[in-house]
């Protein structure tokens, strides 16, 4: 059984690529400017795009514990234990600003150049099924400057918190959407250099974060389980196949010949992952009504089946903003039509042959066409647009390809800002 049904993740390189793209789009806005406090003005210039560091979870976790201890006030032992447990389970990471040029203007022509470095400590949560990254603390260090440096850093911490918020909130994973399938509330985790949101098909409960899972090392990736793909196939409505024919001749009450009609539906789709593709098997369900006329009407009962089980061999392809399940070829099968019981002796053999051969001749291509025409939407590929400094920036996964992962179908690619 799969540890989860669907995962969407970003790796550190992908997040840093987005950070660089955001920086290039809006610099010098946000990343360069002035800020004032208490009659002092600081001019600052963040010289390069801040970098995400997802491998420093222990350092960021310690910072979160310290932050919570300073901001939770007087707690009962039970409340304190709750806070401690929460801090252990909230994924954390670092945003490194690197070198920042800054000048402190204390008025009266007194200016001091004070370069410094800064780090934002951040956590990841899921709110309303959307990944939310939030900075909670800024560390800033100047190698020189004495009291002037301390003053400058105190002023800049608030500005860097604002910059951090705008940057990290531009990088997210929107709600996971699978066409026709309801999902449990997702959870988020950070493992290695990847941040991942995972969830299950509704009814299975939210999964525990699967520590030790081997994630694709791509800027963007998604994993879909067999259960998830099964649910997507089951949610795809199937139109019935109908047909019939008649050889009846005569006038008024005197008729001679045979006639039939049928309605069949392909039901109970069963999905099996096969490398980077899927095999989807169906059962044939329906009924045949038939009558023959030999000096009066005789009703007949027939049933239909397909052997071996009709199966479509499918691939997953990206079409627009959706990952689609599309049939490539189908397995050979034979339609069998048999009477439900004994056929009355007055029914001529050519009449039963007319019914059986007619159903087989028309139902076989109908089933084949159904299998060949399989086109099922599964994952809605996540893209989102957020306003930053008055600009609408849209993140899109690009260069997507399908890969095989044990127990899953994987979708991997890059990330691009537009």
Least confident of 69-78, 190-199, 314-323, 406-415: 69-78
* CB crowding 365-378: b at 16 or more within 10 Å, else e: ebbbebbeebebbb
pLDDT at residue 77, rounded to an integer: 66
Higher pLDDT, 293 or 361: 361
State percent of the chain over pLDDT 70.
92
In angstroms, the Cα distances linking 116 to 152, 155, 161, 164, 418 are: 10, 13, 15, 16, 32
When pLDDT is averaged across residues 351-371 and rounded to a whole number, the result is 93
- Residue 75: the pLDDT is 62
pLDDT, position 391: 84
pLDDT for 251 = 75
Rounded mean pLDDT, 262-285:
95
pLDDT higher at 169 or 195: 195
Report d(CA 281, CA 310) in Å as an integer: 6
DSSP 296: S
List, as one string, the DSSP characters of 168-235.
HTTS--PPP-BTTB-BPPPEEEEETTEEEEEE-BTTS-PPPP-TT-----SSEEEEEEHHHHHHHHHT
Residues in the chain: 418
**pLDDT tens sequence across 364-416:** 999 999 999 998 988 888 888 888 888 888 888 999 999 999 999 999 999 99
Partners of 294 in the beta sheet? 256
Distance between terminal CA atoms of the chain?
A: 39
Return the pLDDT at 174.
Answer: 87
Residue 322 main-chain phi, psi, to 5 deg: -135, 145
Could you tell me which residues are beta bridge partners of residue 299? 291
Question: Domain residues of the chain, as ranges?
Answer: 11-173, 233-377
Q: What is the 3-state secondary structure (H, E, C) of 46-109?
A: ECCCCEEECCCHHHHHHHHHHHHHHHCCCCCHHHHHHHHHHHHHCCEEEEEEEEEEEEEECCCC
371 φ/ψ angles, rounded to the nearest 5 degrees: -65, -45
At 226-266, the pLDDT tens digits run: 999 999 999 988 889 999 999 998 877 788 888 999 999 99
What does the alpha-carbon distance between residue 194 and residue 18 come to, in Å, rounded to a whole number?
14
Q: Determine the pLDDT at residue 238.
A: 84
Asked if 151 and 186 touch (Cβ cutoff 8 Å), the reply is no
Reply yes or no on whether the pLDDT at 1 is more than 70.
Answer: no
In this prediction, residue 57 carries a pLDDT of 66
Between CA 47 and CA 27 the distance in angstroms is: 10
Whole-number pLDDT of residue 86: 63
Q: How far apart are CA 147 and CA 318, in angstroms?
A: 58
CA–CA separation, 158 and 155 (whole Å): 6
Biggest distance spanned by C-alpha atoms of the chain: 119
Q: What token pair was written down for 151?
A: 């003053």
The torsion angles phi and psi of 248, rounded to 5 degrees, stand at -70, 135
Give the pLDDT confidence score for residue 128 in this predicted structure.
85
Q: Average per-residue pLDDT in the chain? A: 89
Mean pLDDT of the 322-332 span: 93
Task: For domain 11-173, give the CATH number.
Answer: 3.15.10
Q: What is the pLDDT of residues 25-46, one digit of tens each?
A: 999 999 999 999 888 999 999 9
DSSP characters over 301-340 = EEEEEEESPPEEEEEEEEETTEEEEEEEEE---EEEEEES
> For position 273, what pLDDT does the model report?
95
Give the residue-averaged pLDDT of 1-7.
Answer: 87
Helix (H, G, I), strand (E, B) or coil at 136: strand
Of 89, 113, 119, 93, nearest in space to 101 by CA: 113
- Nearest one of 91, 96, 86 to 51, comparing CA atoms: 96
8-state DSSP, 343: P
Q: How many CB atoms lie within 10 A of CB 271?
A: 22
pLDDT at residue number 326: 94
Given this model, what pLDDT does residue 51 score? 96
**CA within 13 Å, CB half, 232:** 29
Residue range 129-173, pLDDT digits in tens: 889 999 988 999 998 878 889 999 999 999 999 999 999 988 888
Our separate counts of H helices and E strands in the chain read: 6, 23
Residue 220, CA atoms < 13 Å, CB-side half-sphere: 23
Overall average pLDDT of the 342-354 stretch: 81
At 166, list the tokens: 């705008």
Among the listed residues 242, 262, 366, 348, the one whose alpha carbon sits nearest the alpha carbon of residue 304: 262
Predicted confidence at residue 266, as pLDDT, reads 95
Q: What is the pTM of this model?
A: 0.86
pLDDT tens figures, 59-113: 766 766 676 666 666 666 655 665 666 666 788 899 999 899 999 998 877 889 9
pLDDT at 72: 63
pLDDT of residue 413: 94
């Amino acid at each position: 059984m799969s540890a989860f049904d669907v995962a969407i993740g970003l790796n550190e390189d992908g997040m840093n690529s987005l950070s660089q793209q955001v920086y290039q789009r809006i610099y010098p806005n946000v990343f360069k400017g002035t800020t004032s406090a208490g009659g002092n003005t600081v001019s600052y210039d963040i010289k390069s795009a801040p970098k995400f560091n997802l491998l420093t979870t222990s350092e960021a976790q310690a910072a979160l514990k310290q932050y919570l201890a300073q901001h939770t006030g007087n707690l009962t032992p039970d409340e304190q234990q709750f806070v401690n447990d929460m801090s252990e389970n909230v994924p954390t990471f670092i945003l490194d600003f690197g070198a920042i040029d800054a000048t402190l203007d204390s008025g009266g022509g007194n200016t001091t150049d004070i370069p410094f470095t800064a780090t934002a400590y951040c956590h990841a949560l899921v709110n309303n099924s959307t990944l939310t990254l939030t900075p909670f603390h800024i560390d800033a260090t100047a190698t020189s400057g004495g009291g002037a440096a301390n003053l400058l850093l105190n002023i800049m911490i608030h500005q860097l918190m604002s910059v951090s918020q705008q940057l990290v909130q531009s990088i997210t994973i929107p709600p996971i959407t699978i066409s026709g399938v309801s999902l449990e509330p997702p959870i988020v985790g950070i493992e290695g250099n990847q941040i991942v949101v995972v969830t299950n098909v509704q009814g299975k409960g939210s999964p525990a974060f699967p520590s030790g899972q081997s994630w694709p090392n791509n800027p963007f990736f998604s994993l879909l389980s067999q259960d998830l793909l099964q649910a997507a196939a089951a949610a795809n409505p199937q139109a019935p196949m109908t047909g019939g024919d008649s050889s009846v001749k005569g006038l008024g009450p005197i008729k001679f010949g045979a006639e039939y009609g049928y309605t069949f539906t392909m039901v109970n789709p069963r999905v099996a992952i096969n490398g980077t593709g899927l095999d989807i098997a169906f059962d044939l369900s329906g009924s045949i009504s038939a009558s023959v006329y030999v000096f009066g009407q005789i009703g007949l009962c027939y049933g239909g089946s397909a052997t071996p089980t009709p199966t479509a061999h499918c691939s997953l392809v990206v079409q627009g903003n959706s990952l689609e399940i599309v049939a490539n070829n189908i397995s050979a099968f034979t339609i069998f039509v048999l009477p439900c019981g004994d056929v009355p002796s007055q029914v001529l053999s050519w009449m039963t042959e007319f019914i059986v051969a007619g159903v087989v001749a028309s139902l076989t291509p109908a089933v084949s066409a159904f299998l060949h025409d399989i086109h099922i939407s599964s994952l809605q590929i996540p893209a989102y647009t957020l306003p930053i400094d008055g600009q609408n920036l849209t993140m899109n996964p690009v260069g997507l390809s399908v890969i095989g992962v044990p127990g899953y179908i994987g979708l991997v690619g890059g990330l691009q800002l537009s």
